A and B are shown apart, each in its own frame.
Chain A
Amino acid sequence: MKKQFLIFPSVLFLSILLIFLYLLIIDRNPTELPSTLLNKKVPKFESESLFKEKKFVSSDVFGEKIKLVNFFATWCKPCRDEHSYVKRFSNQEGIEVIGINYKDNSQKTISWLKELGNPYSNIAVDKNGRIAIDWGVYGIPETFVVNSKGIIKYRHVGPITKKIYKKINLIISEIE
C-alpha cells in the first residue's frame, strides 16, 4: 500500500517540469503585459507639442487613421535601438506614429531627432511623466496600437525588435 504514495513526489515533480518545458518552448514573452486599457478609448490629455506651435490635444489627434503611440526619450538606449523600426512604421501607408517624449530635455530631443531622423507626425512633451501614468506605462520604450476609432488595440513593453515589428504589422492588418 505504501509503495504507491512513495512514488507520488516523482510524478508531481516531473509534471511540474513538463509545464515549465511547455512554457519554455512556446513563443512567449514574460515581459508582455496585458494593458487594462486594451479595447478602451485612449486617455484624454493635453500637453505641449515639440515641433508644432499649437498645443497637443489628444482628442484632435486620434481617430481617422491607425496610430502608433511610442513613448521614448533620448536618455533611453533601447529607444535608439528601436528607432529604425519606428521609422519603418512611419513610412508605411495609412499609419501615423505619435511620439510621446517622456521626461526629457526638449533641446536634446530635437538634436537627437535631427541625427536619427524624425518618424513622428506629432510629438507630445511629457515633462513630468503625467501622460505615461495615464497610459499605465511600465517602462520606456513602450508602444501602443490605436485603431481609427481611437481605441487601444495592442501594447508592447520594451524595444521593437524584428519579431515585434512583424507582430505589430500583423495586428495592424487585422484591425484594418
Chain B
Amino acid sequence: MAPYLGNFLLWLSLFFAISQFFVSKKNKKSKFITISVIGLLISSLFSFFLLMYSHVVSDFSVLNVFQNSHTTKPLLYKISGTWGNHEGSMLLWILVLTIFNYFIFKLYNEKNSIFVSKALETQAFITIGFILFTVFTSNPFETINFAQADGLGFNPILQDPALAIHPPLLYIGYVGFSAAFSISIAVLTLENNEKISWSSYMKPFVVAAWTFLTIGIAFGSVWAYYELGWGGWWFWDPVENASLMPWLLGTALLHSLITVDKKKSLQSWVLLLSILAFLLSVLGTFLVRSGILTSVHTFALDPSRGIYILAFTAILGGYSLILFGLKSKKYFNNNYFSFFSKEGSILINNILMVVVCSSIFLGTIYPLLVEAFTNNKISVGEPYYNSTVVPIMIPAILIMGIGPILSWGKGDMLKTFKKIFPSILLTLIITLFIFLFYQSYSLIGVVGVVLAIWIISNNTIILFQKRSNLSNGMIVAHLGIGLLILGITGSSVWQEEKIIQMKVNNEAKIKEYNIVFKKINEIKGPNYFALQGDFFVYDKNKNIITNLQPENRFYPVTNSFTTEVSIHTNLLRDLYIVLGEGNLNDGWIVRIYYNPLVVWIWIGALTIFLGGLISMNNNLKKLKYSS
C-alpha cells in the first residue's frame, strides 16, 4: 500500500510543480500559486516519509528497500537507508527543493509579486526536472512481484552516525543554492526591478546553503576519518571536490552580497556566482551519479541517468549563462574602489576563492580531459592540490584577519594598524611560545599556525569588544575558520604513522606513547561479527592513558569486511588505531596514527556552523523588518 501511495504522491508533486510553473507566469500572487506551492511541499514531504516508512518496516516488496536494507539492520540505519541510495537520495533532493520553494513563496509582499513569481517559475522548472528524472530513471517506489524474505543488506561502510545525517545537511547546502539561482534568473529576466532589494532576498538563502554545506562537508569528513580507517579526513576525492567547489563559490557569493547591499557594486558578479554555485552543485551530482568518475561515492553505473542529468544541466546552464551574457551588462559598473577598504578586501577574497575553485575544478576534470583527448589515464592527487590550493589560501586568510575591521570607502591605514596591533602582538607571542615549547619546525607548519592564531586572536578581540557595526555571526564564523586552520595545519604537518605487525603482548611506540597489544576478542554485534583488538596505551611515566579497541568486522548479509577505528581524543592530539589483516600465529597488521589537533577541525566546523546560524537568523530578521 505505502509504495503505491508514495508513488502517487510523487506524481502528484509533479503535477503541482507543473501547475506552479504555469500559474506563476501570471506574475502575481494568486490562490493557485498558494495551492501549488503548499501542495508541492506536502505531497513531496509525504512521499518522502512513505519511503522512509517502507524502509523502517522493511517492506521488501519495494525494490529499493529490498536492494538496500535488511531486517537485522539497526533502526537508525533503516531510517538513513532511505537516502543512503541513489533513488531515495533523489527523493530527499526533491523534498529540499520544495522546502526552499516554499521559502521563496514566503517572500511575497505587495510590491514584489512579479519578481517573486518569476523566481517561483524558475524554481518550479528545476523541481520538474528533478521529479521527471526520479520518476523515469530512478523511481524509489518500484515494487517487485514475488515476495522476498529478506533484503540484500546495506553497505556496512555507510552504517555510521555521521554519514546518516551527512546527506540531508549536504543537500540543504546544494539545493539552497537553487533559490539563489532562481532569484538571479528573476533579476536577469525582469526589466524594472530597481525597487526590489533582491540581494537581501538572496542573502538568507545563500547563508543557509553555505552554513549547511559547511557542516555537511564536515560530517562527510568525520565519516571518512572514523569509518574508512585511512588515518586522514580529506582525500581530494572527486566527490569531496564536488562539494568543496560550490562551498568556495558560496563563500565568495556570501561576501560579495554584502558589497551589493552596502555599495551597489559587484552586482553582475553576484549574479554570475549564484548561477555558477548551483550549476556546480548539479554538476557534482552528475559526476557522482553517472559513474563518469570513479570514487568511493559512485552509486549505480547507469548511462541513461548520466545523459538525463547532463541534458538537464545543459538546459539550466545554457539558459542561465546565456541570459547572463545578454542581460548582465546593466548590472555591470565600473565603480573602481580603493583596495584598502572593506569592499577591496572582499573583492580580493572573491578573486582568490574563484581561483582556488577553478584550480580544484581543473584538477578534478583534468583526468577526464586527458582521457577524452589522448586516451591515456592519469590521476591527479594530493600533491597537485597542496601546491595549488595552499599558496592561494594563505593571502586569503591573511586578508580575512583585517577585512572585517576595515571601513567602507577608503580605509585609514594608521587607524587600522592601531586596531590590529594587539592581535599582531598576540599572534607573535603565542606562535613563539608554541614553537619554543614544541620545537618542531616546518615552514608550512609555521605559516599555518601563524595564520590560525592571527584569525583566532583577531576575532576573539573583536568578539570581546562587542562592536555593534560588525555582525556576530560573521565574527563567530571567522573564529571557526581560525580553529579549522589550526586543526588542518596540525594534522597534516605533524601527523605520524606507524604500520607494524603485532602479536599479542607486543609493544609499539609512537611519540611519547607506548602501546601494548593485550589480547584479541571475538565479539558479536547486531548485524556483524568482529575481531576486536585490545590495546593499552601508556604515557612515558608508564601511567595508563586509555584502552583502545579497534575492530575488524564481518557483515554476513553483504558478505563484506570493514575496519572500525578506535580513537583516543584530547585537545592536543588523536591516537588512532586500525586493526588490519592477520592471525594468531603471524600477528596482525596494526596501523597507528598520531594525529595532532584533529579535534579542532570538528570544533572549527561546528563554530562556523553556529556563526552561520546566527547570521541566518539576523538576515531573516532584517528581511522581515524591511518588508
- Chain B residue contacts of A6, Cβ below 8 A: 268, 324-326, 328-329, 332
CA distance A9 to B271 in the complex (A): 12
Contact A17–B371 (Cβ < 8 Å): no
Residue A171 is within 8 A (CB to CB) of chain B in the complex: no
Are A24 and B303 CB-contacts (below 8 A) given A9-B325, A13-B279, A30-B294?
Answer: yes
- Judging by beta carbons under 8 Å apart, are B365 and A10 in contact? no
Contact for B307 among A24, A28, A129, CB less than 8 A: A24
Contact pick for B329, options A2, A103, A129, CB 8 Å: A2
Q: How large is the interface on B (under 10, 10 to 19, 20 to 34, 35 or more residues)?
A: 35 or more
Given contacts A20-B286, A32-B377, 4 further A-B contacts (CB under 8 A): A9-B276, A13-B317, A21-B307, A24-B306
Q: CB-CB contacts of A101-123 with B at 8 A, as 1s and 0s? A: 00100000000000000000000
B310 interface residue (CB < 8 Å to A): yes
Contact A14 B292 (CB under 8 A): no
Q: How far is the CA of A137 from the CA of B293 in the complex (A)?
A: 20
CB of B610 closer than 8 Å to a CB of A:
no
Chain A, interface size category, equals 20 to 34
Contacts from A to B (Cβ < 8 Å):
2-3, 6-10, 13-14, 16-17, 19-25, 28, 30-34, 75, 77, 103, 128-129
B559 touches A10 (CB 8 A): no
Chain B at the A interface: SS class: helix
Tell me which of A7, A22, A128 contacts B372 (CB under 8 A). Answer: A22
User: 9 nearest interchain CB pairs?
Assistant: A10-B321, A7-B325, A6-B325, A30-B294, A10-B322, A13-B317, A24-B306, A9-B321, A17-B314
Residue of B nearest to A24 (CB): B306
B291 at the interface (CB under 8 A from A): yes
Interface centre among A6, A14, A25, A33 (most CB of B within 10 A): A6
Tell me the B277-301 residues at the A interface (CB within 8 Å). Answer: 279, 286, 290-294
Contact B377–A34 (Cβ < 8 Å): yes
Q: Are A30 and B317 in contact (CB under 8 A)?
A: no
Return chain A residues, CB-CB under 8 Å to B292.
Answer: 20, 23-24, 30
Residues on A with beta carbons closer than 8 Å to the beta carbon of B293:
30
> Measured between alpha carbons, how far is A128 from B286 in the docked complex, in Å?
39
Q: Check B380 for interface membership: any CB of A closer than 8 A.
A: no
Query: Contacts of B365 on A, CB cut-off 8 Å?
Result: 16, 19
B368, A10: Cβ atoms closer than 8 Å? no
CB < 8 Å: which of A3, A10, A31 contacts B294?
A31
* Sample (12) of A-B pairs whose CB atoms are under 8 Å apart: A2-B329, A6-B268, A6-B325, A6-B329, A7-B322, A10-B322, A13-B317, A14-B317, A19-B365, A19-B372, A30-B292, A103-B581
Assess whether A20 is in contact with B368, with CB atoms less than 8 Å apart: yes
Chain A nearest CB from B173 CB (Å) reads: 21
Let me know if A17 and B313 touch, CB within 8 A: yes
> Contact: A77 with B559, CB < 8 Å?
yes
Let me know if B318 is at the binding interface, CB within 8 A: yes
Complex Cα distance, B171 from A140, in Å, reads: 34
Chain B residues, CB < 8 A from A14? 314, 317-318, 321
Residues from chain B with Cβ under 8 Å of A34 in the complex = 377
Residues of A within 8 A of B290 (CB): 20, 24
Residue B369 interfacial (CB < 8 Å): yes
B102–chain A nearest beta-carbon distance, Å: 29
Q: Answer whether residue B272 sits at the interface, using C-beta atoms and an 8 A cutoff.
A: yes
A103 contacts across to B, CB distance below 8 A? 581
